[in-house]
Amino acid sequence: MSALANHAFAKMNGIGNEIVVVDLRDSKSQGRAQVSAEDARAVASPSGGVPYDQLMVLQPPRLQGTEAFIKIYNNDGSEAGACGNGMRCVVRRVFEKTGQTAATFETRAGLLNCWQGPAPDLYTVDMGAPKFGWQDIPLAEEFRDTRYIELQVGPIDKPVLHSPSVVSMGNPHAIFWVEDVNAYDLERFGPLLENHPIFPERANITLAHVVDRDHITIRTWERGAGLTKACGSAACATAVAAARLKRANRIVEVTLPGGKLGIEWRERDDHVLMTGTADFEYEGRFDPALFAGVA
């Protein structure tokens, strides 16, 4: 039986990024409570499930001083190293239960310090330092300068999209610089680029428009989840890539289809701080029938 059968969940969203939070820390099957890719897909099922972009599963902490080890699933069952919007939802949920205003969580991509603020309805996640090496992203072949890489969609002499910046924020991102993020059929190009052989672990694909040195607008096709209203790690990756190209300041406001995020690429330690809201929608229990076909 799945660890999720009959288990409580919270449906939340981070500026429109659909998030389900499940806390398995108090589960009787602690330690053994593993969520499989099949479980994650079953939860996402439109028939009776709780459709989501990312499922955030809190497991017992592995390290002293951390609240939980968090596993992040995309709705196709694949695991992600980072999810900025999902982290803000987790942080709000935990803080509301415990009264904490700051905490450290562990994910596959490392330790994330999180706190409430700078206003009561805002949560900030220290997403860590970005990585730019081609092996870190990862890319399938060597690129010395990842500020732009040779990759294009469309005819050789008249590409529709070309020369993305690539960044790892704990997960792989490619950012295409455009004048109008709505002028492209991202539903068509997204899957092609996500699965391009240059990205051996696939990639999140973002269209970005630098409005001015303090403002950027983006739209993202997410690896493993498709078009979403917001992708926090993409906002971070884009802010960093724009600053690297000297096209924007290290503190910017990023506008996504679902809302706005404040991003700071902190000079002192290279860490990226992401600030935004997190909304609670409802809570419930997973219908065990969802997992009936799951071993």
Ligand X SMILES: N[C@H](CCC[C@H](N)C(=O)O)C(=O)O
Catalytic residues: 83, 231
Toward ligand X, which CB reaches closer, 27 or 166?
166
The answer to whether 250 touches 264, Cβ cutoff 8 Å, is: yes
- Phi, psi torsion values for 136, nearest 5 degrees: -75, -25
Query: Least CB distance from residue 74 to ligand X, whole Å?
Result: 5
Residues tagged in the binding site annotation: 17, 54, 74, 84-85, 171, 204, 222-223, 232-233
Residues making up the binding site for substrate: 17, 54, 74, 84-85, 171, 204, 222-223, 232-233
For residue 87, report the phi and psi dihedrals to the nearest 5 degrees: -65, -40
Cα separation, 253 vs 161, in Å, equals 24
Measured from the Cβ of residue 219, the count of other Cβ atoms closer than 10 Å reads 24
Residues that bind ligand X (CB under 6 A): 17, 53-54, 74, 80, 82-86, 171, 204, 222-225, 228, 231-233
Nearer to ligand X, 27 or 54 (CB): 54
Distance CA 67, CA 8 (A): 19
For 174, which DSSP code? E
Dihedral sign (CA 68, 74, 79, 81): negative
To ligand X, the closest distance from the beta carbon of 228 in angstroms equals 6
Nearer to ligand X, 92 or 223 (CB): 223
Minimum gap (Å) between residue 234 Cβ and ligand X: 6
